[in-house]
Structure 1
Amino acid sequence: MPLWPVYTGTNAPHDGITELPAPPPWRAFDGGPPLPPPRETDDASPDRVHRAETYRATEQTVQLVNAALYLRRPLLVTGPPGTGKSSLAHAVARELRLGPVLRWNITSRSTLHDGLYQYDPLSRLYAARRSAESDPVDTSGIENHLRLGPLGTALLPYERPRALLVDEIDKSDLDLPNDLLHVLEEGEYEIPELVRAARHTPKAEVLADGTDEHVTVERGRVRCRAFPFVVLTSNGEREFPPAFLRRCVTLRLRQPDDRHLAGIVRAHLGEPDSYAEQLIERFLSRVGGGDLATDQLLNAIYLAQSSDLAAESLDELATLLMPYLGQAPQPDAF
C-alpha cells in the first residue's frame, strides 16, 4: 500500500517521496529525458536550515501537504504574516530530500516570463561582435545568454519533484495568477528563442536556477516528469480567480494557540523559562487586537535570554518589539 502520510511533519529526513502512488490519470506527466535529483549540498544558508529544522506543522498542515503531493497540485498557503508560510516549503523539502528550494519572490512587476527563464539579447550581441573582431571562442549561441528561472527549473523532468516557493503571490498584478494556470495545469512550457533555433541546434545546454550546472533542453520545450511541490504563499490581501483556486489545494494558517506557540519557542530557543512563559501569555492576549507575527515574540524572548536588562527594561523592550503590524507602536497596550 502507498505510504500516507509521505510528509510527516517530524522534520526527520527520509525517502518516503519514492513511495508516492502513481498520479491521477489527469495529472500524469512524461517529460524526459529524466534528470537525477539535485545533489545534496552542505552550503545551504544557516537561517534556511534552521527554519526547516524548527518548523512545527499542525495536523491540518500535514494532511493538506500530503493531499497536494498525492494530487500533484500546487499548495496555496494563506495566513497572517509570521505564521510560517514560507518556512513550510523548506521544512517539506528537507524532510523529503527534495533538494534546495527554488524561490520566486513576487512583486507587482513580476511576469510569468520572469519565473520561466531570462534571456539577454544585448549580451549575445556583444558576444557576437567580440567573436567577429578578435575572440577565437564563439559565445554568441543563444544558450550562453539564457538562464532558467525558478519556475522553469522546477518543471524540468526531474525523477523526484523539486520544491518551489512562489512567495507573496498576492502582490502580483491581476494577470499573473491566470497566466500561471496553463503552465501549472500542463506542466510544460516553451522557450521561443530555442524553438526558433531548434532546426540548427536541436539541443541546448542552459543554466538552471540556483546553480552553475547546465541542463539539456531539447527543441526549446520543457515538460516535467515529477510534478514539483509548489507552495504559493499569500497574506490574504486579495482574492484569486475561481479557476485558479480550484487548481490549488488551499491551506489557511492561523495564529498558533498556546501549546503550538510554546512548541515553536522550544524548537527555536530551548525550553521557555518563567519570563519567556510570561511573554507567551502576553503575546496571546494581544493577538485578537491586531496582527502579530511569531518572530516578534521570538525576538523578544531571545533578547531577554541574551541580555542582563532588568525586568522593567525588558518589558519596555518587548513592547517596542511587538507592535501590531501596520500600526504605530502602542506602549500602553502591552
Structure 2
Amino acid sequence: MFLEGQIDWVLLLGVVAGVASLIAIVALWFAVTNRARHSSASSELDLVQKVAEAADKRLMQTLNAIPVALVETDKQGKFVFANRAAHQLLGRKDAELIGLRFHSATWGITYPDGKPVPPDLLPSARALRGQTVKGFQHLLSNAATRRKMTVSVTAMPIEDEYGRIIGSTAAIVEADGLVQPEPYYSPEPTPASEAVAAPEPAPAASDSIVRRVFEAASSALVVVGTDGAIREANATALRVLGREGDAVGQDFAYLFLGEDARVEGRQALRAALNAPAGEAEPITARDPEGGGVLWRILPLDGAEGADALLLAGERWDEVAEAEPEV
C-alpha cells in the first residue's frame, strides 16, 4: 500500500492529462488532413465523372447528328443502339426499337424482286458470323408509314481485344436513286439447228506440278480458310516465320502479324472474302527494325463463292524499292 507522501498524485495526473492532450491533438491533425485528402479525392472523382458524362453526351450528339442511319446489335442480333436517322428510317423510337431483332417479317425486308431475304443472309446476321457486308441492297418497310423503300446496308462485326465477336454495327442509307440490279431471267433455249458445239476445255495442270510451283515460289505463299486458319504454307512463308515445322491449322493472324495488328488483320481477311479479285486491301506486318512483310490477298472462288484466300507476302523494303518514286 502506497503511503501518501511517496507519490505526487498531482504531478502524475498532470502527465497523464498532457499525454492525453497530445494524443488528441495528433488525432485531430490526422482527421483534418485525411478530411482534406478525402475532399480532394471526391472533387477529382466528381470532375472525372463530369468529363465522362460530357464526353458521352458529346458522342451521342454527334451520332444523332449523322444523317446516316446507324444501328448496333448484341450477339443475339437485338438492337442496343440506334441514332435519330435510324429512328426516322425505321419508323420506331428508341423505347420501341431497343430489344427488337432485324427480322424480315417485322420490317418487310425483301429482295428488289419481292422475294423475302432468308434470316441467315441478312446483313446483321452475316456480320455476327464475322463477315463484312458492303452495299447490300434490299427493300425495307417503314414501321410508322408502311412506305416501302430501297436501302443499302453496310455491316461489320464488333470485336473485343481478343478477337471475339460481341455484336455488329450497320449503316443504312436509302438508295432509291441508285441503279437496281437486273432481275433474274432464264435465257431461251437455242434451237437444235443453230446449236454451236462448245470448245473443248484446256487440260488442267496436274496437282504435282501445282504443288511444285507452290513450294518453289520465291514469295511467301499462304492459303487461309474462311475461319482464318492456315490450310497451306510454302517453304518461303515458313522461313519468313522463322520456323521449320508445319503451320497448317494455326491462326494466320497469330503467327504472321504483331499483337497490335491482329484485329485489323482478321477484319481485312474477312473483308477480302467479299472483295472482287484484285481489289482486296493488303495487310502490312511491320517489324521493330522498320521493315516488314506486305501480304497481298487474292480470293479463291469455290462452288458458292470465295471459300479460301491466297496471301502472297513480300518484304516491305523490297516492295518499297520496286515501286518508282512519283
Q: TM-score, normalised by structure 2?
A: 0.21
Instruction: Compare the two structures and name the one with the higher strand fraction.
Output: 2
Instruction: Compare the two structures and name the one with the higher helix fraction.
Output: 1
**Highest Rg: 1 or 2?**
2
Q: TM-score, normalised by structure 1?
A: 0.20
